Amino acid sequence: MKVFLIPPPALPVPAVKGGAVETLITHLLEENELCGELELVCVSVPDREAERRAEGYRHATVHYVPTVQGVRRKVWGPMCGQMRRMGQPAPLDPWYEKVRKLVMEERPDLVIVEGGDLTESAAIARMVGRERTWAHLHMQFKANRQLSDMYGSVLSISRFVADQWQSMEPCRIHLLPNCVDVKKFTHLPAEEGEGARLRRELGFAEDDFVVLYCGRICEEKGVHRLVEAMVKIDDPKVKLLIIGSPFFAAKDDSPFFERMRTEAEPLRQAGRIQFTGYLHNDRLPAYYRLADLACFPAIWEEPAGIVAIEAMACGCPIVATASGGMGEYLTGSGAALVSRDEDWHYEGSVPVPGVEPLEDQLARIIVELKMDPEHRERMAQAGIERAKKFSRQAYYRNFLAALHSVELEDDVL
């Protein structure tokens, strides 16, 4: 079966600059290289390092399609408007028109749109047909008439996301839980003394209690609420390590990130907070292993949780908000779930009445877990076992099962 994958035109594939969608596609490509069950075709924005890596693929082709800028993009606007007035679907971004021509050349058995603006592939869906056009839901979307007419099946990263779709036409929904490379993300250190060395490099003492946040630095992820919790903790041995940037390797700063660093300056001067910026996926396992606790305090409906799988696999106990699909991934891991005191949306944030302030909940549970190493050890062991369900191999098997429209082999959610 030839399957054509269309990620958004933001980050390259293979995932040399990060990105959750791009990383999952890379896992799929690399596992298929070992198993050879499919002929995979993918499109990507150009990147020299990614292109070098893709040269070695035997069972996949990656087409590097430049984005359209400047005068050519301005010209496309009126053309797009004219086509739509004539009843022909046309993407707002001309990059997708280039992709449509590649789909025509490749003649795949199936097209899977991997997130992004799902309406941009309308012309592709019309060309190949609804039953052969699938959407991979990496975020929560509510299906409207246009989307229902475009996609005959969807892949969903959690039950929460699947429940949001609600297609107006008959539609098969396949659960495809996210994955990590559990051979890379493991509780076993790469070398003796790894954690102590990395702690010294970061300025942490051996007896410091290090709380780790890893992820995008943006308001909906709630990282600023974790900083507020740190202010409330008067134990100088509790330290915070923040790994990430506003948008992986592509964007290292934002007004929100700047404000948060300003608010955290007293903590930084006291030696209680460290910002690493974006780190490549290959470097993350050692950071999870050095931490005593990982915290993911999302204030929106988190679709799923790749960072949660990473932390579990590395034996790092987890505190997280009960939001979206995160709880589905953490079931059986021993993770401590706290309640959101606000419901964040792109339009704004709505307070949740009767809920204790999130920073107070986080501060209390961090201190409690610091004082209970035996509990943390039980959490760590449970997380390690739970993470085995989200291996790259299971992801590939479940992907194949969805393609052949049978029950998921590893329905762990």
pLDDT digits (tens, 9 = 90+) for 115-154: 999 999 999 999 999 999 999 999 988 999 999 999 999 9
| pLDDT value at residue 246 | 96
Residue 124 shares a structural domain with residue 203: no
pLDDT of 278 above 80: yes
**Average of per-residue pLDDT across 15-33:** 97
| pLDDT value at residue 74 | 82
Asked if residue 91 is part of any domain, the answer here is: yes
| pLDDT value at residue 406 | 47
pLDDT of 254 above 90: yes
**Average of per-residue pLDDT across 237-256:** 95
Which three-class secondary structure state does DSSP give residue 76? helix
Asked if residue 222 is part of any domain, the answer here is: yes
| Structural domain for 225, as ranges | 194-389
| pLDDT value at residue 86 | 80
Kindly report the pTM of this predicted structure: 0.94
| pLDDT value at residue 76 | 87
Residue 215 shares a structural domain with residue 309: yes
Residue 159 shares a structural domain with residue 115: yes
Phi, psi torsion values for 383, nearest 5 degrees: -65, -40
- How many helices (H) and strands (E) the chain has is answered by 17, 16
Q: How many CA atoms lie within 13 A of 204 on its CB side?
A: 26
Residue 286 shares a structural domain with residue 348: yes
CA 95, 180, 172, 325 torsion: positive or negative?
negative
| pLDDT value at residue 411 | 52
DSSP-derived secondary structure for 277-345:
E---GGGHHHHHHH-SEEEE--SS-----HHHHHHHHTT--EEEE--TTHHHHHTTTT-EEE--SEEEE
Residue 398 shares a structural domain with residue 372: no
Residue 175 shares a structural domain with residue 200: no
pLDDT of 413 above 60: no
Which of 219, 204, 231, 218 minimizes the C-alpha distance to 359?
Answer: 231
pLDDT of 409 above 50: no
Each residue of 69-80: pLDDT tens digit?
A: 886 788 888 888
Residue 398 shares a structural domain with residue 316: no
Each residue of 305-326: pLDDT tens digit?
A: 899 999 999 999 999 999 999 9
Asked if residue 67 is part of any domain, the answer here is: yes
Asked if residue 373 is part of any domain, the answer here is: yes
Q: At what angle do helices 255-263 and 223-232 cross, to 10 degrees?
A: 0
Each residue of 327-341: pLDDT tens digit?
A: 999 999 999 999 999
Q: At what angle do helices 306-313 and 20-35 cross, to 10 degrees?
A: 60
Number of structural domains found in the chain: 2
- Where helices occur in 203-291 by DSSP H, the ranges are 223-232, 255-263, 265-269, 284-290
| pLDDT value at residue 407 | 42
Asked if residue 408 is part of any domain, the answer here is: no
Q: Is 365 exposed, middle or buried (0-12, 13-18, 19+ CB in 10 A)?
A: middle
Q: Which residues 6+ apart lie within 8 Å of 392 measured at CB?
A: 27, 30, 31, 179, 180, 181, 182
pLDDT of 410 above 60: no
279: domain CATH number is 3.40.50.2000
Separation CA 364–CA 34 (nearest Å): 46
**Average of per-residue pLDDT across 354-369:** 98
- Sorting pLDDT into bands at 50, 70 and 90, what band is 203? very high
**What does the block give as tokens for 347?**
């339009």
